[in-house]
Amino acid sequence: MWTPEQPIQVNHRFLDLQAHHRATPTDPSVFLRIPSLADPAWQTRIRDRLTQTVRAHSPDRPLYYSLADEPGLADLAAAWDFDHDPRTLAGFRAWLQARYGTLAELNAVWSATYPSWDAIQPESTTATMARTDGNHAAWNDFKAYMDLQFASALRMGTDAIHAADPTALAAIEGGQIPGWGGWDYSHLATAVDVMEIYDAGENTAIARSLNPALITLATHTRNARGTAWQAVLRGAAGLILWDDADSLVTPTGAPGPWGREDAALFAELRNGLGALLLASPETPDPVAILYSPQSFRLQWLLDHRAQGDAWARRSSGAENKDNPVRQAMRRAANALTEVGVIPTWITHDQLAQGALLRHPMTHLILPHTLSLSDADLAAIAAFQAAGGILISDGPAGLYDGNARLRRTPALTAASTTFTLSPRISLPLSLSRTGTPTLTLRQNGAITILGIGSARSTPSSALDTHEARVPTPAYIHDLRANTPWQLTDRIPLNFHGEGPALIALSPTPLPEPRLTGPTTLHIGETAQFTLGLTGPTPARTTVLHIELRDPTGRLVPAYAGTVLLIGHDVAWPSPFRSTDPPGNWTITVHDALGGGTASAVVSLRAP
């Protein structure tokens, strides 16, 4: 996107194409993507560049290599009829042949009369809007193929990075809302190792459902502590700090105003709590939501067909707006979140391949699902026959799996209301607009309850003061580090814009244990042992280590986090030859249990 002649307006090429299309709407050249994702010369160039980059930087062990920031088929999530390059069309025709088997079958589905595979052409958006027979199969197939090609291009980059360094991670940043521009997460979720995602349209939850191994990150800006906590509770493994105004760190390296404002947030996340949340994954409930990119495409078509060619003047920002499919997806997710139910998002392919029965689900939710194939319907029927509950917000399957209008919707009698029993009873209310969010994480036999408010409402706006559990448990406020208490009532104390984080354990937790030498000479190496004073119900214990020098000053470079999983861990002494002699204090804090252990080491001259 970026070029030296247009350093600010990075999307000028796309804007030029739109202007040319308005002036000459019959010129097909505006639908030739430059470069084409199918261009072998560009593929080789990118693979070679990535290989050189990884080989140059792998000794420094970067966190990840970013393939692109805010990529897209056109301009981010804008709609466009890319790509009519002959090499792309050759791949499209081969994909169609594998999909349909025979040319006669394709012609029957598309209502076409192509004499050969090589004669097939994609149907344009403008042309499909003008159709009166309700058959959008040709248009939909090309859109689906371009989404697949976009993900395949990213996969090519990931493979190049892995070939150069098998331990390296490939990433994309600026993940867009599910929709146009290649942003079909059913393909993207497995195309890279790391994603920095703008959390919109349930894309974070969808990506993590479809690829539980995916590492997700979030961008953090000034005055957005509440949003940062939301990202952490939704599984973000880290924050990218966007500081274009030098307010986090000044050009001299000193903390700026933003750095001072958010110092407490960063310290809290880095002092073991962030690692604890990562070590305590969410456990999905047996509730599935169907993710249907095809339904989004069809709804978009219905919304804009009356305006004809006006779609070609829309921007990426305009495509971020809601439509009934996105609204229904959000409503379904929020309804579950409010009662602490963690759903699993599934694709049409997973549905048709029997995922509901293979990973037994009790409920399937169809949020404004316009498209259902015959295979989808068969899988749903088998699910219901086995006792599964189907939930729809209205008629579903108005179109078949090939985006062809049916005479009547395939499903008309799905349940529209449902009851799910929450694992924790929460009498929630808000004093301002917003929706409370409830997350439940599991660390062995210990449950971590996170409760805050969705999106932009500060947690301090929540009126809730108490929650209850069905049976008494040992309860502990992780952020306030309150004493453990055996009770069935959970006091909820919100901390500014952050959530309440409560641990519930069936038994008391042991204290951390630190053993090792009490005297060391400068230059000597030694090992300390980190462990616990007894058995723990936790799967992973997160211990945060801090060192203070003989003056009592905290030495940040020596701070760190150690995970205990079933056994003690050896921790090497960090002292350097330049450290001053005297009594050093080592403190170990258990981020889950709240206990501490400390030791004093006398560091002596060589």
List domains and CATH numbers for the chain: 32-278 (3.20.20.80), 287-392 (3.40.50), 436-505 (2.60.40), 512-604 (2.60.40.2950)
Sheet containing strand 560-564, edge to edge, reads 519-521, 596-604, 582-590, 541-548, 560-564
| Residue 334: both structure tokens together | 């929020």
Q: Give the pLDDT confidence score for residue 439 in this predicted structure.
A: 83
Percent of the chain predicted with pLDDT > 70 = 93
Closest C-alpha to 346, from 334, 358, 336: 358
Distance of CA 402 to the CA centre of its chain: 29
pLDDT at 440: 86
Over residues 276-305, mean pLDDT: 95
Task: Identify whether the C-beta of residue 527 lies closer than 8 Å to the C-beta of residue 601.
Answer: no
Residues 6+ apart with CB under 8 A from 501: 273, 448, 449, 450, 477, 478, 479
Residue 183: φ, ψ to 5°: -85, 65
* pLDDT tens for each residue of 392-432: 988 999 999 999 999 999 998 665 555 555 555 554 443 33
> Terminal CA-to-CA distance of the chain, rounded, Å?
59
Report the half-sphere exposure of 222 (CA within 13 A, side-chain side).
Answer: 13
Averaged pLDDT, 482-508: 85
Q: What ranges make up the beta strands (E) of 37-148?
A: 65-69
Residues in the chain: 606
Beta carbons of 512 and 597 less than 8 angstroms apart:
yes
Beta bridge partners of 562: 543
Where in 308-423 does DSSP place strands (E)? 344-346, 363-366, 389-392
Instruction: Tell me the two tokens of residue 322.
Output: 């809601």
Q: Which amino acid is at 533?
A: T
The chain-wide mean pLDDT, for the chain, equals 91
Q: Where are the beta strands (DSSP E) in 165-308?
A: 170-175, 194-197, 215-220, 238-241, 287-290
Provide the 10 A C-beta neighbour count for residue 203. Answer: 25
Q: Which of 205, 593, 270 is nearest to 437 (CA)?
A: 205
pLDDT greater than 90 at residue 438: no
Minimal CA–CA distance to 467: which of 598, 601, 339?
339
d(CA 298, CA 308) in angstroms, rounded, equals 15
Question: How far are the Cα atoms of 9, 30, 312 from residue 20, in angstroms, in the given order?
Answer: 17, 7, 11
Q: What is the mean pLDDT of residues 75-89?
A: 96
Least confident piece of the model among 227-241, 289-303, 321-335, 415-429: 415-429
The candidate with the shortest Cα–Cα distance to 121, out of 108, 97, 148, 139, is: 139
What pLDDT was estimated at residue 255?
A: 92
Q: Decide if pLDDT at 350 tops 70.
A: yes
* H-helix or E-strand spanning residue 469: strand 466-477
* Beta-sheet strands, E only, within 26-136: 65-69
pLDDT for residue 593 is more than 70: yes
- Rg for the chain, CA atoms, rounded: 28
How confident is the model at residue 357, as a pLDDT?
95
For residue 470, is the peptide bond before it cis, meaning its omega torsion is within 30 degrees of 0?
no
Question: What pLDDT does 430 receive?
Answer: 36
Neighbour tally for 473: CB within 10 Å: 22
CA dist., res. 511 & res. 509, Å (int): 7
pTM value? Answer: 0.91
pLDDT at residue 496, rounded to an integer:
64
* Dihedrals phi, psi of 380, to nearest 5 degrees: -65, -40
Per-residue pLDDT at 77 exceeds 90:
yes
Residue 85 has φ and ψ, to the nearest 5°, of -60, 140
**pLDDT value of residue 428:** 44
Strand partners, 218: 239
Of residues 419 and 239, the one with the higher pLDDT is: 239
The mean pLDDT value for 255-277 works out to 94
- Kind and range of the H or E run holding 244: none
What is the model's pLDDT at position 499?
Answer: 85
How far, CA to CA in Å, does 588 sit from each of 103, 505, 519, 520, 560? 69, 21, 18, 19, 10
Largest CA distance in the chain: 90
**Pairing status of strand 512-515 against strand 527-532:** antiparallel
User: Between the CA atoms of 69, 74, 76 and 77, what dihedral angle is there, to the nearest 10 degrees?
Assistant: -150
Segment 453-482 mean pLDDT: 71
pLDDT above 90 (res 347): yes
pLDDT average, residue stretch 9-17: 89
3-state secondary structure of 196: strand
Q: How far is CA 465 from the centre of its chain?
A: 30
Q: Find the mean pLDDT for residues 309-321.
A: 92
Can you give the pLDDT at residue 415? 57
User: How confident is the model over 528-532, as a mean pLDDT?
Assistant: 97
Residues 88-123 have pLDDT tens digits of 999 999 999 999 999 999 999 999 999 999 999 999
